[in-house]
Amino acid sequence: MKYREYRWAAQGKLRLEHENWALFVTLKDVSRTGMRIRGMEIPAAGTRVRLTLVGLPVSGHIVWLRNGHGGVAFDRSLTASQLLALRGLRHSKRSKNKSSPQKRAAFSAQSYEKF
Residue 2 inside a domain? The answer is no
Q: What is the CATH number of the domain that holds 77?
A: 2.40.10.220
Given this model, what pLDDT does residue 88 score? 67
Residue 3 inside a domain? The answer is no
- Residue 27 burial class via C-beta count within 10 angstroms: exposed 0-12, middle 13-18, buried 19 and up: buried
Beta carbons within 10 angstroms of residue 84's beta carbon: 16
Given this model, what pLDDT does residue 108 score? 46
Which residues of the chain carry a pLDDT beneath 70?
Answer: 1-3, 88-115
Total-model pTM: 0.72
Looking at residue 54, what DSSP letter applies? T
Given this model, what pLDDT does residue 38 score? 96
60-91 confidence digits (pLDDT tens): 999 999 999 999 999 999 888 888 877 764 43
Residue 79 inside a domain? The answer is yes
Provide the Cα torsion 76, 77, 81, 87; round to 10°.
110
Q: Do the Cβ atoms of 35 and 50 come closer than 8 Å?
A: no
Domain count of the fold of the chain: 1
